[in-house]
Structure 1
Amino acid sequence: MKIAIPHALLYYYYFPLWDTLFKELGFEVVDTGITNKDILDKGSKAAVSDICAPIKIFTGHVIEGLEKADYVFVPRFARIRKPEYFCPKFMGLPDIIEGTVEGIYGRIISPIINEKNNEDISSPKTYDVLTDIFGFSHREIRLALKKAEEVFLRFKNLLHSGLSCDKALESYKLQRWEKDLGKVKKDGEVTIAVLGYVYDVYDSFISMDIIKKLEAMNVNIKTFEMVPIDIAYENLRHYRKRLFWTFSNRVLGAGLFYLKDTEVDGLIHVTAFGCGPDAIVGRFLQYESDVAGKPFTTLRVDEHTGEGHMITRLEAFVDMLKRKKWASVSRGI
């Protein structure tokens, strides 16, 4: 039996866990592939017109999955850390998909992820839906989740060693765990912290391969998922109140950490147009960057963003950082 995992949203962070779980249970896992114009067009046509681009892209991948597999995996993310929650679109994602995609009824697998404090989302009760639909025993699910949790821990170790999500995913798929662990490019002229949700930064179509473009400009890259969650939250302690959304807090906490990192020359915040939580995260990052005296810029992306505009913005920002660094060196700072 085939199950499709849409190559969108939190695929970039949780795919190794879900892929291992379903394979251990005997499923054939279908990856819907990288986003292209056809997938975006399918999603944009089916989705509500004013919804954000990441949800339109996910919708397109669901449609793609229906064409390739028996079932499509659409988890309902409520929370993984009390008292924070996910964006309402994540909380209602299965409802959004069922209301917009034709032929989805009866072919969707939607576990409810509602954890008090478990980033690994590996509680057996979360996946009771697999027992209800397919008749797996609780023991079978526990054993599969144990293996999936081990794999996800190794994946996070790759991230914390300095690999970006796309490179860590490639390492997982090619089983190059030890070979790639700690192999990070550090010989660039400047270092930039690229902050943003994984589905904004690593979807090569919507972000137009921002990471590869920066690396081609001889830039070292640091991202939010490279910062362990406890360190990210430690950097939020000076606020009286945290944000309501878990990954927003992680992006902001990582940004605060990188503002104190002497290796980091500047920050880029990649955000999808119309994202409510990011409207708040961006303002915090901009303010804190001004206080720290580090250059900061925002790149807003959607299905209409032009590549020429993106490249011009990146080139200007990188050139400014290089000139600033050269000037500091020449003055002996």
Structure 2
Amino acid sequence: MKIGIPNALLYYYYGPFWTEFFKELGAEVVVSHSTDKKTVDMGIGVSVPEICVPIKIFNGHVLQLLKSGVDYVFIPRMASVEKGKYFCPKFMGLPDMARHSIPGVAGKLLTMDVQSRSENIFSPKMYYSIAEKLAVSDKRIELACRKGAEVWRKFRKLGLGGRTIAEAFEGLKNPNRIKEPVKIDGPKIGLLGYVYDVYDEFVSMNVTERLRQLGINVLTFEMLSNRELKRYIKKMKKSLFWTFSDKLLGGAYKMFRERSVDGVIHVTAFGCGPDAFLGKLLELESEDSGIPFMTVRIDEHTGENHLQTRVEAFVDMLKRKTVPVGDAV
């Protein structure tokens, strides 16, 4: 049995768990290839114009998998992974949107509800609902959840050690050749954005590596522990309603208030509702702290030259700002 997993959205965070989970159930796991222009164009073709580009890209990956001949495409309904916090409505309605907008997916849709009190989404109870469709026992589901959880924890440990998501994925593939976290003798930028905006190299134009090539150390939210992310959020009378927006805000507060970075860049998709709230809070925090801040909005039309010019200008400004007066040219 071939099970397809779209290489988009929360695959960048939970992909290692889902991949190992289905392998342990005896399935052949097919992950769609990295986003390219064809993927984006296919997704646009089956999406309403108003929806954000990450969903359009996701739809393109689903079509990719259907064309590859998989038996099922795994599209979980992501509801909540924290008490009182929820995912964007598009995530909660993702299986339904796919069923009604992507030709051929209805008969191959494999879905279940993800609702947990923590980001550890490994409770077998959530996955029992797909046991019959996959012709496996509940016992197999339980074992697969344990194995998948082990892999995911290794993945997160690599990230918490200062590695990017891309480097953590590579570390899982080659555990005997895990690279040390990159350290550069230069300014540090807090790169804030949902994992699917920052690490989809096509849509973000590999902004993480671009910054490193410009002599910048990069700090992202997934390099911080949940304890660090919640430190300042706990003091708020009311935090954000959305799980990952809250993580980004917690990371931003830590960066700005502890002055642990020289600048902050927020990568956001055009038309993202939760980011409309988050972005304003980041602007206010930047004004209070005096730490430079820039927003980079991406969509299917974003050009490489546009992003490169803005990032290079921001980095140049930071470097000039951090150079001692006596050393300035």
Bucket of the pairwise TM-score, normalised by the shorter protein: over 0.9
Q: Within 5 A, what are the aligned runs for 1:2-13?
A: 2-13=2-13
- Report the counterpart of residue 149 of structure 1 in structure 2: 149
- Report the counterpart of residue 295 of structure 1 in structure 2: 292
| Aligned equivalents of 2:107, 2:185: Cα separation in 1 | 50
Secondary structure class of the residue paired with 1:237: helix
- Measured after TM superposition, the shift of residue 263 of structure 1 is 4.2
| Aligned equivalents of 1:229, 1:327: Cα separation in 2 | 35
1:284 aligns with 2:281: yes
- Measured after TM superposition, the shift of residue 114 of structure 1 is 1.0
1:91 aligns with 2:89: no
Secondary structure class of the residue paired with 1:205: coil
Letter in 1 for 2:277: I
Secondary structure class of the residue paired with 2:107: coil
Contact 1:18 1:148 in 2 (8 A): yes
- Measured after TM superposition, the shift of residue 260 of structure 1 is 3.5
Contact 2:193 2:266 in 1 (8 A): yes
- Report the counterpart of residue 230 of structure 2 in structure 1: 233
- Report the counterpart of residue 304 of structure 2 in structure 1: 307
Secondary structure class of the residue paired with 1:34: coil
Residues 179-198 of structure 1: per-residue CA shift (max 9 Å, x gap):
437x1111242111100000
| Aligned equivalents of 2:257, 2:183: Cα separation in 1 | 18
| Aligned equivalents of 1:270, 1:281: Cα separation in 2 | 11
| Aligned equivalents of 1:45, 1:327: Cα separation in 2 | 52
Q: Within 5 A, what are the aligned runs for 1:128-147?
A: 128-147=128-147
Q: Which range moves more in the overlay, 38-47 or 229-238?
A: 229-238
Q: Within 5 A, what are the aligned runs for 1:111-126?
A: 111-115=112-116, 117-126=117-126
Of 233, 246, 254, 2:243 maps to 246
| Aligned equivalents of 1:3, 1:84: Cα separation in 2 | 30
- Report the counterpart of residue 40 of structure 1 in structure 2: 40
Q: Within 5 A, what are the aligned runs for 1:166-205?
A: 166-176=166-176, 179-180=177-178, 183-205=180-202
Secondary structure class of the residue paired with 1:274: coil
- Structure 1: gaps of 5 or more residues: none
TM-score by length of 2: 0.96
TM-score by length of 1: 0.95
1:160 aligns with 2:160: yes
1:326 aligns with 2:323: yes
Letter in 2 for 1:44: I
Q: How many residues align?
A: 327
- Measured after TM superposition, the shift of residue 261 of structure 1 is 4.2
Letter in 2 for 1:205: F
Residues 231-289 of structure 1: per-residue CA shift (max 9 Å, x gap):
10112123110111000000010111112344411000000000000011111111111
Contact 1:4 1:65 in 2 (8 A): yes
Letter in 2 for 1:199: Y
- Measured after TM superposition, the shift of residue 171 of structure 1 is 1.2
| Aligned equivalents of 1:209, 1:170: Cα separation in 2 | 16
| Identity between Structure 1 and Structure 2 (%) | 46
| Aligned equivalents of 1:102, 1:23: Cα separation in 2 | 27
List 4+ stretches of structure 1 deviating above 2 A: 173-176, 260-263, 327-331
